[in-house]
């Protein structure tokens, strides 16, 4: 059985098909079958991947991921994906400098997250990744070979605030490794 952090309250074990992950009130952790990273590495993790975007949800995911990496002497791959929204190119065309601006903002987000990890878990080494593409697809690619992928729940306020966002939903269903979805205020 994997070592769990002191904040972890429960877990769901199962395959992608047939599971419902629509409402998140606490940390959701999915651990795949016997070929998953936990058994391969005997509970010692080599890399934890976390998605960041500067939101409160991402901050909660970052704190959880940093703690998990510290507990296992793993390094932390901090990933920020960016893409040009289709609506931006349709309504105004491709604005000069937009690509560079979005990429620079994503880079600032990653390095701010790494600085935060240095404050909360100074023993954790970080690897920055700033990649153009859809966040869900980028995180799935970056999770190849990882033993844990951590994302925020990314709710939308009110009742809908309890629902998983599209990225967390995508990685829960398609990740090649265990996944933890962390809500804004993990308990």
Range of the domain at 171: 23-182
Number of domains in the chain: 1
Strands 179-182 and 75-82, how do they pair? unpaired
The residue ranking higher by pLDDT, 123 or 3, is 123
Closest CA to 77 of 28, 112, 128: 128
Token pair 């400098």 is at which residue? Answer: 97
Percent of the chain with pLDDT over 90: 44
Predicted local confidence at residue 11, as pLDDT: 40
- Burial of 128 by CB count in 10 Å (0-12 exposed, 13-18 middle, 19+ buried)? middle
pLDDT tens figures, 158-177 = 444 445 678 888 898 899 99
Global confidence as pTM: 0.74
CB count in 10 Å sphere of residue 19: 12
H-helix segments, 44-157: 56-71, 86-92, 98-120, 135-142
pLDDT tens figures, 108-157 = 999 999 999 999 999 999 999 999 999 999 999 999 999 899 999 874 44
Q: What is the CATH number of the domain that holds 165?
A: 3.40.50.620
The residue ranking higher by pLDDT, 184 or 158, is 184
Angle at 12 between CA 135 and CA 184, to 5 degrees: 50
């Amino acid at each position: 059985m994997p070592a769990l952090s002191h904040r972890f309250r429960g877990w769901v074990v199962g395959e992608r098909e047939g599971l419902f992950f629509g409402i998140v009130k606490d940390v959701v952790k999915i651990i795949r079958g016997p070929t998953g990273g936990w058994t391969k590495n005997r509970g010692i993790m080599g890399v934890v991947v976390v998605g960041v975007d500067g939101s409160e949800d991402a901050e909660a995911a970052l704190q959880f991921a940093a703690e998990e990496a510290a507990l296992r002497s793993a390094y932390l791959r901090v990933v920020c994906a960016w893409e040009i929204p289709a609506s931006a190119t349709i309504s105004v065309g491709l604005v000069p400098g937009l690509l560079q601006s979005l990429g620079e903002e994503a880079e600032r987000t990653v390095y701010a997250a790494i600085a935060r990890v240095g404050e909360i878990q100074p023993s954790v080494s970080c690897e920055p990744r700033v990649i153009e593409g859809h966040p869900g697809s980028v995180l799935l690619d970056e999770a190849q070979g990882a033993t844990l992928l951590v994302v925020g729940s990314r709710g939308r306020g009110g009742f809908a605030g309890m629902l998983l966002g599209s990225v967390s939903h995508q990685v829960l269903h398609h990740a090649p490794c265990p996944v933890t979805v962390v809500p804004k205020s993990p308990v």
